Copies of this chain bind each other. A is one copy, B any other.
Amino acid sequence: MTGDLGPDASAVAFPLGGIGTGNVSLGARGELRDWELTGEPAKDRTLPFSFFAICADTGDGAPIARVLQSRLQPPHTGDQGYYAGELAGLPRLASSTMRGEYPFAHISFRDESLPVTVALRAFTPLVPLDADASAFPATVLRYLVVNPTAEPVEVSIAGSLANPVGIAGYDLFHFPTYEGRPRNTYRDAGVVRGIHFDSDLPTDSLLFGSASLTTPDAQSSAKPQWVYGFWQDGAQLFWDEFRTSGRLTAEERETLEPGVGPERLTKLRVGSLAVTHRIDPGETSVFEFRLSWYFPNRPKGWLGNIVHADPNAGSVVRKHYATRFADAWDVAVRFDAELDRLETATAQFHEALFESSLPEEVVDAVSSTLTVARSTTCFRLEDGTFAAWEGSFDSHGSCEGTCTHVWNYAQSLAYLFPELERDARRTEFLLETRPDGHMSFRTNRIFGGPQWDFHPAVDGQLGTVIRLYREWRFSGDDAFLAEVWEGASAALEFAFTHWDSDGDNVLDSQKHNTYDIEFHGADSLSNSVFFAALLAGAEMAERLGHACTAARWRDAARTGAERMDALLFNGEYYEQRLDGAPDGGAGLRYQYGTGVLSDQLLGQFLAHVVGLGHVLPRDHVRSAIRAVFQHNFRTSLADHHSVQRTYALNDEAGLLLCSWPRGGRPRIPFVYSDEVWTGIEYQVASHLIYEGLVDEGLTIVRAVRDRHDGHNRNPWNEVECGNHYARSLASWGLLLALSGFRYDAVSRQLEFAPAQPGPFSCFFSTGSAWGRVAIDEEVVELSVDHGSLVLDRLIVAGRDAAPTGATLPGLALGSGSRFRFSLATN
């Protein structure tokens, strides 16, 4: 579990940055790493000379200067030792402890040679229901310095940054090479001041952009541009000035090289900004810096590894945030203006999660995976279109097109940024669903390219119908429902015509799915999603006045479920039956047959989330999901045999995608069957909790979090086919299942049903407001932190709750309001 992380937690990279903005990450030693400001995946990308340093002068002897990182950790195996740009030869602090509670990171540094103590708080605002407020291409880096001595100490902290604009590559010495000519300028906007980094690149260049390193602090000094040259002249002069005086001055000359023009030398331009405070004994002083950036362009196409046709990829399209700001300096000024408000809201959100009664491992899972939404995996186009990869390879997006079968599992965005999910539904139903209902499960039309010509995906396609139901219920937006209905209806009908070979309402044809292969015959993964989609579809059809359709779909769900249950339930769990497949399935690879598929009740999980109840017999569901835990959860994988990709190993615990306790493992089972995926683990854990198997569910969650302990893996990056993998956003299901939360904007009804006994408190959101709920015995308290909502009914654990000194229905809860309710006696 993510606790206090020492400097040896080398896997840690805590992402800073907003939705669709790109990132820079914070390592456990306090170092900035993984410079992905442009929004392109670039794990391990370094930016030379970009770091913070402290200088403390007691007036007694020489000042003490240190890089504001704890010491570099082994191995020290670079092919040139550490590159000059890493400044590894400057002294660092003896040790540090990091605590990350997304979106806040906190690092305490320790060093006996320093007369003061110093800590860092870093974050980028995240405000539920406000995607723009959560999409600042900026981060706060706030150093808190305490003087525990009996004498005043003069302390300076300097931030240095290499101009990041126009980086085209890296040379053998790991210095960036540039397109265009980078330039650094000192600016003072009154409210903030600092160094602006831009370039002479044309505005339509993919590399065009800017960055600003600013401070609101007037007690600052700057060296806007280090001397540059063949060697380390600039770093030497910067460091010697800073370590002796703590203050910075502009260099008189650009370079000390005689008679050589800038074009012949490096284009690297480093600038530094320092803040100096005299700190009295016992006092604390804040040194605040902000880094903002602006890289407005991206290719108008995926250029992905699935190899879509990308006819427009040669032109650029602007990012959504580019429409909100003029450049990085504009970001800095507007960020400063809004920061108080944004930070307060972010802290409220943080508190609602981290001071909830949810188990620590669940808070950890729910919060840490939110990084997906603010990683390079997700982005928004100029017109607001939300799009995403499945994940991010180290230096390329992984698997393009907002893949429906991977995003099928994701719950977090639906409850925090529902406008993004609604946008994804529009793409799916308005752009990617053909008249016959065949949906391309990867979108290409958002870039104006042709639809992708490939099999439809049964789980992803039918899942979009359930997710549409989720979005509609949460927003209460009937117009939105009507807008996409034709496509949604066709996508659902497609199942009857293309996946059900014999009209018995059990899907049994060749079905492409999230395992990247085709299932044949009948399986409960596809069918449970089908039944949930039918029930969701029926609800929506009814709302839109299509009563006959609704009745037909409900009937299909009921008869199909009965038949499938009879066909596949083996007394313990649901198997796959290949009877209907060609040759009875002989010769088919990549099936699972008698295996225990962890995902066998995916549709039931999705149905629970959206309040559709059991789509299959409750006792069979409970037996099957218990069997998944019993057979597929391994407390150690040391004797597990898998020739597939590996996400859990050695003595780690994890939930296998499949196992064959009754024998019958195919010679070549489906291609990921022996793997462990956090997205499936969260899905199954949530479902276990929904079925009352809370301990089992939490056991799985603890296994995931134990694997992401900062030493083995990054707590803020769950990997599947790429970093920041979208499926991990299933984690929000844990919060939903443990709180029994549901909000129905259509009926203005809010519901909680805590899965664990005792006092309960938790974050909650509706389509228009968010805040906290606290339940203790008969008393319920609702606090709205932001937004407003009108309630007709509040149900807790199946009982109606009545407000104290107010009445339902029609109770209006405004921002900052708090209402107390008591539960009616049954």
A639 to B647, CA, bound (A): 40
Does chain B have a CB within 8 A of A824? no
Residues in chain B near residue A318, CB distance under 8 A: none
Write out the residue numbers on chain B whose beta carbons fall within 8 Å of the beta carbon of A589: 233, 256
CB-nearest residue of chain B relative to A396? B172
Most chain B Cβ neighbours within 10 Å, of A11, A80, A240:
A80
Counting every copy of the chain, the complex holds 2
Question: Are A641 and B396 in contact (CB-based, < 8 A)?
Answer: no
Taking A11-B74, A393-B172 as contacts, is the C-beta distance between A640 and B79 under 8 angstroms?
no
Interface string of A639-676 (1 = CB under 8 A from B): 11111111101100000000000000001100100110
| Beta-carbon nearest neighbor of A719 in chain B | B81
Q: Which of B91, B643, B720 contacts A90 (CB 8 A)?
A: B643
Residues on B with beta carbons closer than 8 Å to the beta carbon of A43: 79
Q: Is A713 an interface residue (CB 8 A)?
A: yes
Q: How far is the CB of A291 from chain B (nearest CB, A)?
A: 22
B residues less than 8 Å from A640 (CB atoms): 89, 91
B residues in contact with A243, CB < 8 Å = 641
Report chain B residues within 8 Å CB of A21.
none
Query: Is A339 close to B, CB under 8 A?
Result: no
Determine whether A781 belongs to the interface, using a CB cutoff of 8 Å to chain B. Answer: no
- Nearest to A711 among chain B residues (CB) is B74
Scoring A256, A391, A638, A649 by chain B CB atoms within 10 A of each residue's CB, the highest score goes to A649
Q: B393 and A75: CB pair below 8 A?
A: no
Interface residues of A in 289-326 (CB under 8 A from B): 305
Instruction: Kindly state the separation between the CA atoms of A789 and B458 in the bound complex, as whole angstroms.
Output: 82
CA–CA, A74 and B648, complex, Å: 11
Given contact pairs A589-B256, A713-B75, A80 touches B645 in the complex (Cβ within 8 A): yes
Cβ-neighbour of A643 out of B235, B641, B713, B720 (below 8 A):
B235
Residues A80 and B721 in contact, CB atoms below 8 Å apart: yes
Selected from B237, B392, B590, B644, the residue in CB contact (under 8 A) with A89 is B644
* Residue among A94, A172, A639, A714 facing the most chain B CB atoms (10 A cut-off): A172
Task: Determine whether A196 belongs to the interface, using a CB cutoff of 8 Å to chain B.
Answer: no
Instruction: Specify which of B89, B398, B641, B667 is in contact with A675 (CB 8 Å cutoff).
Output: B89
In the complex, residue of chain B having the shortest beta-carbon distance to the beta carbon of A41: B79
CB pair A79 B722 closer than 8 Å: yes
The reply to whether the CB of A232 lies closer than 8 angstroms to some CB of chain B is: yes
Determine if A77 and B714 form an interchain contact, defined as CB atoms under 8 angstroms apart.
yes
Q: Is the CB of A641 within 8 A of B90?
A: yes
Judged by a CB distance under 8 angstroms, whether A819 is at the interface is no
Pick from A92, A94, A239, A638 the residue with the most CB of B within 10 Å: A638
Besides A78-B719, A84-B645, A91-B638, 15 more A-B contacts (Cβ < 8 Å) are A74-B712, A75-B712, A76-B712, A79-B722, A80-B721, A80-B722, A84-B643, A86-B646, A87-B643, A89-B640, A89-B642, A89-B675, A90-B642, A232-B643, A236-B643
Name A's B-contacting residues (CB within 8 A).
Answer: 10-11, 43, 65, 71-72, 74-84, 86-92, 94, 113, 172, 231-233, 235-237, 239-240, 243, 256, 305, 391-394, 396, 398, 517, 589-590, 637-647, 649-650, 667-668, 671, 674-675, 711-714, 719-723
